[in-house]
Structures are given as C-alpha cells and as structure tokens.
C-alpha cells in the first residue's frame, strides 16, 4: 500500500522489534516508525497523516496511553491501537477511556492477527474520512426502545437482551443509547455470524409468541412460559460463560462496546457501566441459582457442573 492516506505509524522504543516488523509487515503496508511518543507527535505536527497508529504501552518518558491520548487531540481520525505485554485491567480501561483505542494486542501477538487488525484499521480510517458510513443509532425514540419503526424491531436477539438493560438509558443512569448498538456488536462477536442469525430468528419467534407491546413486559412474560424461558436462559448462560476468565471477559466486553460507542457518540463506557450492565443482565439468574430446583434444571439443560460454574462467575461480577 503506497497511498499516503493508508500509512501506518508504529511506535516502540525497541529497535529490534521495529526491524522485525519492518521485515514482515513492510511488504504489505506503508510503514513509518517512531522510537517514542514525542517522536511520533513531531511527525504528525510536521503534517504527516497516518491511517493507523500502533503504539507500545511501556516506553521511557511518555508511555503508550499518554501518547495515544495526545494523538487523539491532534489527529482524531487516526485509528489507534495498542501493543503491550502487560494487559492489566487498569491499562485496558485507561487505554479505552483516554487513548480511545480501536484494537488492543498482547505481546507476543500473532502477526496474522496484527496484519488483519491493521487492515481493518485502515478500512475504518477511510470510512471515517467519508463520514457517511457510521452505523445509525439503533433507537430513534428517546422515550422507548420499542417504537413501531425502530430498527431494533428486526434485531430480535438484541431486543430480547436489551429489554433487560433498557432502564439504564433512562434516569437516573441515563446511559447513551449507543449502548444498544454496542451490545449488538458484542453479541455478534460472542456467538459468531451464523449462530447469531439463527438465534436472532429464534428470538423473533419467541417475541412473536409472547406478543408484548412494551419491552418492559418481555422478561416477566418469558419467565411464565417454559419453552421461552429455556431459550432465554440459553442466551444468558452462553453470554455469561464468556466471563469464566472474568477479568479477560470484562476487558473484551469493554473494548468491544467502546469501539461502537466512540464511533456513534464519542463516549466511552467504564467499569461502573460494566457493573450496571452485568447486574441488569444477570442478577435474576443469580437469584434463580440460589434455588435448588433451578440449579438442577440448569445442570440438566447445560451440563452437570454448569450451575456451580455460573455461580462462581456471578459471585465475581455481582459482588455486594
């Protein structure tokens, strides 16, 4: 790629790593290197445009988070990515909230994954430059998530899940409504495209059968119907199991929803929002698991030890 609007800036103080990346990635991308944050900022100040910036976290002087935070201010359309060998929770949250990162990679990182990420970042940069391809907000009616013309109506799986969190977009929390699209993207990544479409179709059948005009009535009605409840439990259990490694699951959730939130509303969600969403989705399931009959039913449906595994996850996510 020789197009100057597709250039990639890689920032790292490890010159051996930079040389290795040049040998491998230089054949595919137009790459420029900087050995530190200030060096990178000077390049941008000189009028250089970069589609993607990939920055190491730990560097002497200006670290990766501060570097990306400052790049956000001077080159807001540049797609920012982080590479680090220390993916602790605070690093991830700071990178999302301050550096507004698009992708997060742990060292050592697969060069195949890194190449694919850079390619996606370049595509995203051009989409932002066109300024006409950002996804529309799923909910147009500020008072309800279930208006008759809402795009949410044909995303049945999202509607089913969003019915558990819709109150978070109302006072006192008043979270931005880009949360719905963000959750939808997360669901697609959790289930994969094929399974997502199958579940979406089945969710449409469930919603048609229970026929609730108000989304607030969806889950109370589902809980009264055995077949619908079984399907709904399947969705929640499958999502919850992605938090079995809780910190990694939480990190993945925040990164995915913040990618959408930044594009749609220039906001980011932090740990407090994660806690609100996690509680809204799973607090009822936690209460159910306290009942022995419910535990037996879950173990029968999903495996003999599933209730214990879910209980362990819920205890981490719903600490009181």
Sequential DSSP letters for the chain: ---GGG-EEEE-S-HHHHHHHHHHHTTTS-EEEESSHHHHHHHHHTT---SEEEEES--SSS-HHHHHHHHHHH-TTSEEEEEES---HHHHHHHHHTT--SEEEESS--HHHHHHHHHHHHHHHHHHHHTS-SPPPS---TT-S--TT-GGGG-HHHHHHHTTTGGGGSTTT---THHHHHHHHHHHHHH-HHHHHHHHHHHHHHHHHH--SSGGGHHHHHTT-HHHHHHHHHHHHHHHGGGSSHHHHHHHHHHHHHHHHHHHHS----HHHHHHHHHHHHHHHHHHHTSHHHHHHHHHHH-TTHHHHHHHHHHHHT--
- Does position 141 have pLDDT exceeding 50, yes or no? no
At residue 64, does pLDDT exceed 90?
Answer: no
pLDDT at 183: 92
Segment 138-161 shows an average pLDDT of 54
Residue 111 scores a pLDDT above 70? yes
Contact 161, 218 (CB under 8 A): no
Is residue 105 predicted with pLDDT exceeding 50? yes
17-31, 105-119, 125-139, 301-315: range with lowest mean pLDDT:
125-139
Provide the whole-model pTM. 0.55
Q: Which of 58-62, 95-99, 303-307 has the lowest mean pLDDT?
A: 95-99
More confident residue, 91 or 258: 258
**Rounded distance, CA 259 to CA 266, Å?**
10
145: left (phi over 0), alpha (psi -120 to 50) or beta: alpha
Residue 97 is predicted with a pLDDT of: 54
Least confident segment among 1-5, 64-68, 202-206, 237-241: 1-5
Domain ranges of the chain: 4-130, 151-317
Q: How much is the pLDDT for 17?
A: 84
pLDDT value for 241: 92
Render pLDDT for 186-220 as a digit per residue (tens, 0 to 9): 998 888 888 888 999 999 899 888 888 777 889 99
Q: Sort residue 174 into left (φ over 0), alpha (ψ -120 to 50) or beta.
A: left
**Quick check: 138 pLDDT over 60?**
no
User: What mean pLDDT comes out for the span 90-111?
Assistant: 68
Percent of the chain with pLDDT over 90: 26
Residue pLDDT, tens place only, 5-44: 689 999 998 888 888 888 888 888 999 999 899 999 999 9
Gap between the Cα atoms of 225 and 75, Å rounded: 53
Q: What is the CATH number of domain 4-130?
A: 3.40.50.2300
CB atoms within 10 A of CB 256: 18
Tell me, rounded to whole angstroms, the distance of Cα 15 from its chain centroid.
32
- List the one residue out of 19, 55, 49 whose CA is nearest residue 36: 55
């Amino acid at each position: 790629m020789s197009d100057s609007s597709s250039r990639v800036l890689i920032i790292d103080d490890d010159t051996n790593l930079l040389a290795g990346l040049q040998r491998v990635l230089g054949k595919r991308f137009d790459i420029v290197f900087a050995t530190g944050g200030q060096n990178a900022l000077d390049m941008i100040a000189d009028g250089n445009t970069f589609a993607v910036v990939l920055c190491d976290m730990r560097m002497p002087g200006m670290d990766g988070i501060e570097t990306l935070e400052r790049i956000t201010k001077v080159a807001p359309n540049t797609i920012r990515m982080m590479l680090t060998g220390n993916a602790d929770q605070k690093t991830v949250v700071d990178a999302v909230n301050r550096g507004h990162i698009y992708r997060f990679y742990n060292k050592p990182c697969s060069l195949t994954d890194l190449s694919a990420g850079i390619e996606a970042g370049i595509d995203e940069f051009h989409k932002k430059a066109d300024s006409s391809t950002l996804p529309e907000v799923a909910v147009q009616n500020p008072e309800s998530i279930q208006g008759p013309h809402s795009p949410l109506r044909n995303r049945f799986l999202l509607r089913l899940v969003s019915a558990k969190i819709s109150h978070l977009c109302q006072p006192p929390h008043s979270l931005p409504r880009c949360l719905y699209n963000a959750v939808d993207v997360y669901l697609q990544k959790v289930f994969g495209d094929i399974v997502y479409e199958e579940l979406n179709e089945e969710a449409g059948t469930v919603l048609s059968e229970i026929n609730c005009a108000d989304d607030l009535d969806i889950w109370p009605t589902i809980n009264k119907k055995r077949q619908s409840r079984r399907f709904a439990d399947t969705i929640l259990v499958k999502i919850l199991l992605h938090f079995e490694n809780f910190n990694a699951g939480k990190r993945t959730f925040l990164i995915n929803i913040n990618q959408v939130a930044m594009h749609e509303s220039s906001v980011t969600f932090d740990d407090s929002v994660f806690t609100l969403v996690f509680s809204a989705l799973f607090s009822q399931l936690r209460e159910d698991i306290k009942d022995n009959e419910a535990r037996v039913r879950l173990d029968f449906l999903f495996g003999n030890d599933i209730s214990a595994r879910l209980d362990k996850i819920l205890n981490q996510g719903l600490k009181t």
